Amino acid sequence: MKKTFTLITIAIIGLLNLNAQNLLLNGSFENHDYDSDLKVFNSIDNWTFSNLSFVQRNQATPQEGLSSIYLKNNKKASVAQTITLLPNSRYQLSGWVKFTAGATGNAWMTAKDNSGNTLVSLSIMPGEEDLTSWTQKVGEFNTESETTISITLSRWQTGGVNPTGEFHMDNVELTYLGEATSTDNALEEQTSVIVSQNEIRLNFTGDEVRSATIYNMVGVQQYNRIITKGSAQEVINISQLQSGVHILVLKGENSSYSTKFIK
């Protein structure tokens, strides 16, 4: 009994650590190839840019660490990273930003899915608040079935007028908050989930569930099964899954339900 308790405790601690983990790579922009003579980036690890000539390094006053980056006053400048997330989950996007004194023109921090749908968009407007010192911007969003997400920080021409001054960014983070709150709990009400070491037993009181999918905590699909309409019970063999935290996603015709489990 004591050994079982220890294993469960370790798994729960791992889940808590996941919630605090930054899912973006090189969110502090510390890892890069910078040409000190030409004063331009050759590359910045894990990020893509509309044009690297619009991006500069700030070593004098980073929010944290040794350097941050800033977008110059150009009509179209952006930095982006694409990541695969878990379905039916809630995430927090945050980043530290500032403008040089007198800067004009807005900037944005956005998350979009692979179809171009905006999940969250944070407007960063120097004319509406004092952003001449480092300020953290925070927003939250839910994923649905599509999990390939692009995180973009951008500065664009507004009303045909180019922005002026510099837009600085540092310590951009994306963290997992937990399962998304469902507005339709029919699947949850009609399903009981019993997890043992080697199997998951699903009991249904309705015919809403159409499929069962298991993902690991980095969003990789581990298992998928079509549920026969009218089935009262399904048993999923999980003996081949690695030990740790996984997410079971049940989908109906117009709704979905997800729950975490520990193997």
Digit-coded pLDDT (tens) for 117-163 = 899 999 898 877 889 999 999 999 999 877 899 999 988 777 778 88
Cα–Cα distance for residue pair 246/15, rounded to 1 Å: 10
pLDDT, tens only, 48-61: 988 766 788 888 78
Q: Note whether 154 and 77 are within 8 A (CB).
A: yes
> Which portions of the chain are predicted below pLDDT 50?
1-17, 183
CA 179, distance to chain mean position in Å, is 13
Q: What pLDDT score does 249 carry?
A: 87
Q: What three-state secondary structure class fits 169?
A: strand
Domains and CATH numbers, the chain: 8-179 (2.60.120.260), 186-262 (2.60.40.3080)
User: Quick one: pLDDT at residue 4?
Assistant: 35
Distance CA(112)–CA(100), nearest Å, equals: 28
Closest CA relative to residue 202, chosen from 253, 252, 248: 248
* CB proximity list for 13: less than 8 A, separation 6 or greater: none
Any idea what DSSP says for residue 74?
-
